[in-house]
Chain A
Amino acid sequence: MTEAAAIPLDARPRLPHGVRLVHNEAHGGWVLLAPERVFKADPIAAEIVKRCTGQATVTAIVDDLVQAYSAPRDRVLADVSALLRQLADRRLLEL
């Protein structure tokens, strides 16, 4: 995916003001709340978004997930890049 490759590995992604990841019991999981939008976050997406604190680089986020889930690095990198690009295009993430 050429678009996904556009995420710089040294970026420190974070949720902007007005975008919040919350765990909601009534809806049985994680939801991403944004202006006029609600997104159900699957467990993988939630784990990625939780790490978008503005402190960690994309590389660090990927490393952390690889270690936490014993997953292949290229697969994790692809998932993370695709999600971050998707969120950034919707103005739900700052890079």
Chain B
Amino acid sequence: MATDKREQPVAGQSSRSTNGAAAPALHRPIGLLAELTHRCPLGCPYCSNPLALDARERELDTQTWARVLDEAATLGVLQVHLSGGEPGARRDLVEITAAARSSGLYTNLITSAVGVTASTLEKLVAAGLDHVQISIQDSEPDSADKIANYAGAFARKKALADRVVALKVPLTINCVVHRANIDRIAAMVELAVSLGASRVEIAHVQYYGWALRNRESLMPTADQVPRAVKAVEDLRKRYHGKIVIDAVLPDYYARFPKPCVGGWGRRSLNVTPAGKVLPCHAAEVIPNLEFWHVQDHSLADIWANSPAFQAFRGTAWMKDPCRSCERRDIDYGGCRCQAFMLTGDAAAADPVCHLSPHHADVIALAARHHDVPYSYRLNPRKADSDVPLG
């Protein structure tokens, strides 16, 4: 998981805030990232999950997920992204998918493909699965397996992609891009086309969680980035109407920050395997935020009232240059987690922004490349292993 979720605005959202004139407008969320488990058979060096993973015995049970998903639909969530870790490691994935669909949610499975068998896939589709996203690590099998630290992963991804397309379910191929494979974007998009995908994401690695450890091994070079931009432009022309290509500039090379999660507490929410509700995937890196759990509060209560969601909602928390910036309602000051990680202040401008006083640090970090072996995320080999990872 290292992707920007960019969804079109849904108009007509009313301000439901009752906390007085100073309180920011309370929008309805449209997306929920359900991290069903942190267990994963792959060992990707760019894993954006936190350093401390939730152990299997702390994972929410089937009934709790069903309740949370139903609350999400009532709250306004339209799409649920069933993710992880590898969601296929959950033996109740089919039941959870059926529960999501019966609550009216659009269901998206985000999988490494390792751990989802053809027979599980058929059951998922029968349960109402709407869309499948499969990540690939490279267009070259050997390199892909090396990056994933899992021999044979590439072949299994292709095999599952074939099954998805054969069942006429829309397929997105998520290409996780970094220094070792960024020069093969065209080959990866061609692979996605040949697999029958309707959509491909060029997802540049973002440096959160485990990925931060490997930043110097993963960071693309200043020569590679403009080539990648040109490659995407050419591919979009070539495959117009054939495949949708979503791509953004790699973070550290941008002049403006990404509108992270569409604005804090504005568009989406994230539920961890153990039931903690986060405004974004990486929010736990920010110290002193108080997160609430689905075991203790309804999702609507958490969305409206939990201190973590209120912390950076709206614009009142901003400092300059964001506070007076004409783009403050476009990119919302960028990513709070990145601001904290790179400046020590979670309320600072995301230093990816060229207006940030810390922007020179980002340029310096983007120039640091060191070809040392990856530090792999060492997980048990079996997706359904009983060994806790915590």
Contact = CB atoms under 8 A, between A and B. Distances in A.
Nearest to B76: A26
A36 interface: yes
A27 B12 contact: yes
Interface residues of A, number: 24
Contact of A36 (B172, B241, B243): B172
Interface string B240-254: 110110100000000
Given A24-B76, A27-B76, A38 B7 contact: yes
B199 interface: yes
A33 interface: yes
Contact of A35 (B11, B12, B198): B198
Given A26-B28, A35-B108, A38-B30, A89 B241 contact: yes
B212 interface: no
Given A22-B104, A26-B28, A88-B241, A36 B7 contact: yes
B314 interface: no
A72 interface: no
Interface residues of B, number: 36
B12 A40 contact: yes
Contact of A17 (B5, B11, B169, B172): B169
Contacts of A88: 241
Nearest to A17: B168
A42 to B, nearest CB: 9
A17 B131 CA distance: 8
A90 to B, nearest CB: 6
Nearest to B242: A91
Given A27-B28, A35-B131, A40 B241 contact: no
Chain B contact residues, majority secondary structure:
loop
B108 A36 contact: yes
A35 B199 contact: yes
A29 interface: yes
A23 to B, nearest CB: 10
Contacts of A20: 106, 130
Interface in B21-79: 28, 30-31, 74-76, 78-79
B75 A26 contact: yes
B169 A18 contact: yes
A83 interface: no
A69 interface: no
A27 B267 CA distance: 12
The 10 closest A-B pairs by CB, nearest first: A26-B76, A18-B170, A33-B106, A28-B12, A35-B131, A91-B198, A18-B131, A18-B130, A89-B241, A40-B10
Interface of B: 5-14, 28, 30-31, 74-76, 78-79, 104, 106, 108, 130-131, 133, 168-170, 172, 198-199, 201, 240-241, 243-244, 246
15 contacts: A16-B168, A16-B170, A22-B78, A26-B74, A27-B12, A27-B30, A33-B130, A35-B131, A36-B108, A36-B133, A36-B172, A36-B199, A37-B8, A40-B10, A91-B241
Given A22-B104, A38-B31, 20 more contacts: A18-B131, A18-B169, A20-B130, A22-B78, A26-B28, A27-B12, A28-B12, A28-B14, A33-B130, A35-B130, A35-B199, A36-B7, A36-B172, A36-B246, A37-B7, A38-B7, A38-B8, A40-B8, A89-B241, A91-B199
